[in-house]
Amino acid sequence: MAAIDNLPPLRDVIATHGIAARKSLGQNFLLDLNLTAKIARMAGDLSGSDILEVGPGPGGLTRGLLAEGARKVLAIEKDDRCMSALAEIEAAYPGRLQVINADALDINPTQYLNAPIKVAANLPYNVGTELLVRWLTPKNWPPFWDSLTLMFQREVAQRIVAQPGSKAYGRLAILSQWRSDPKIVLDLPPEAFTPAPKVSSAVVHIKALPQARSEAEAEILNKVVAAGFNQRRKMLRSALKGLAPDIEDRLLSAGIKPTERAEQVPLEGFCALARTFKG
Ligand code: SAM
């Protein structure tokens, strides 16, 4: 297959710059540039968008995003061993790549990017869900991003798209589906990565909706859902007892039977319950 750019193959980049994968940083690299270009295309038409990439590592996905026409990529990488490799990509795409050597949890990306903004990343598993929850729960909506195209462990991807009544249904499903539309768009076996992780992975594409499917305050919804699923085998009247002394009345007014378990309650039910706590 044709090369996507004139830069060296990723195996050579890793050897030249001494970027042996570290488990502590969640490093499982994608070395097939045709695959990273394919993942970049799953983020949609990139030509008119700025892209936030968390954890570029040796730059496989970064190169895919740039080759697919991203207007600008802001890449935040914690591992300083990757900086010289990323500098070579910066030089090959003048003015289109900005690299920040930092922990992504400490950076406000909106200071560096212009709308429309898409997020695309092969996330480090140790901070992946924390970043996702942060991106999904800003106080105001729509958020700074139009879409998130993210690689997760397959089990996490399934929790994002899960429906009520299933074991995977919980806080991630509700927060992801409340104001967005998530879909699994690609499954990848462990061998797609170097080194190969123990489990399969999946790319999830999450599109921000213009407004929530059901009204609620992010902070309250998050709290109610966390409490409900923390003790997911308990009936809601006891799982949520700590939230308010009159929780049974609140559940009933939200149209939820107090004897139900969190797993059975659809998104609209949790939003209605969250509204009973409003101001
Ligand atoms: N994007 C590359 C690829 O697809 O081959 C690397 C993906 S690897 C799964 C995750 C990357 O995130 C690693 O390069 C790791 O160093 C970086 N990383 C880990 N924790 C981070 C953090 N808190 N902030 C920014 N980058 C982080």
Domains and CATH numbers, the chain: 10-208 (3.40.50.150), 218-275 (1.10.8.100)
Angle at 62 between CA 15 and CA 121, to 5 degrees: 110
The atom number, within ligand 1, closest to the CA of 56 reads 1
Is the beta carbon of 56 within 6 A of some atom in ligand 1? yes
Is the beta carbon of 59 within 6 A of some atom in ligand 1? no
103 is in an annotated binding site: yes
- What local confidence, expressed as pLDDT, does residue 279 receive? 65
Q: Are the CB atoms for 121 and 151 separated by under 8 Å?
A: yes
| pLDDT-above-90 percentage for the chain | 97
Residue 1 confidence (pLDDT) above 70: no
Report CA(1)–ligand 1 centroid distance (Å): 27
From 14, 22, 25, 66, mutation site for ligand 1 pocket: most ligand atoms within 8 A of C-beta: 25
Query: Average pLDDT of 208-226?
Result: 96
Q: Are the CB atoms for 156 and 116 separated by under 8 Å?
A: no
- What local confidence, expressed as pLDDT, does residue 3 receive? 83
Is the beta carbon of 201 within 6 A of some atom in ligand 1? no
- What local confidence, expressed as pLDDT, does residue 278 receive? 79
Query: Average pLDDT of 50-54?
Result: 98
Residue 83 confidence (pLDDT) above 70: yes
Q: Are the CB atoms for 119 and 145 separated by under 8 Å?
A: yes
Q: What is each CA distance from 237 to 10, 215, 219, in whole angstroms?
A: 54, 22, 21
2 falls in which pLDDT band (50, 70, 90)? low
Query: Average pLDDT of 67-93?
Result: 98
Query: Average pLDDT of 67-82?
Result: 98
126 is in an annotated binding site: no
Is the beta carbon of 105 within 6 A of some atom in ligand 1? yes
Q: What is each CA distance from 230 to 15, 33, 208, 239, in whole angstroms?
A: 45, 41, 26, 8
The atom number, within ligand 1, closest to the CA of 126 reads 20
55 is in an annotated binding site: yes
- What local confidence, expressed as pLDDT, does residue 275 receive? 98
pLDDT tens digits for range 59-68: 999 999 999 9
Sheet of 180-188, strands arranged across: 97-101, 72-77, 50-54, 117-122, 147-153, 201-208, 180-188
85 falls in which pLDDT band (50, 70, 90)? very high
Report CA(181)–ligand 1 centroid distance (Å): 25
Residue 144 confidence (pLDDT) above 90: yes
125 falls in which pLDDT band (50, 70, 90)? confident
> What residue type is assigned to position 119 of the chain?
V
Residue nearest ligand 1's atom 14 by CA: 57
- What local confidence, expressed as pLDDT, does residue 126 receive? 87
Q: What is each CA distance from 269 to 217, 225, 235, 261, 275, in whole angstroms?
A: 14, 10, 15, 12, 10
ipTM of the complex: 0.99
Query: Average pLDDT of 203-208?
Result: 98
What φ, ψ does residue 93 adopt, rounded to 5°? -125, 70
User: For the chain, what is the mean pLDDT?
Assistant: 97
259 falls in which pLDDT band (50, 70, 90)? very high
Q: Are the CB atoms for 49 and 69 separated by under 8 Å?
A: no
Token digits for 136? 């999904």
Nearest to 36 by CA among 64, 59, 55: 64
pTM greater than 0.90: yes
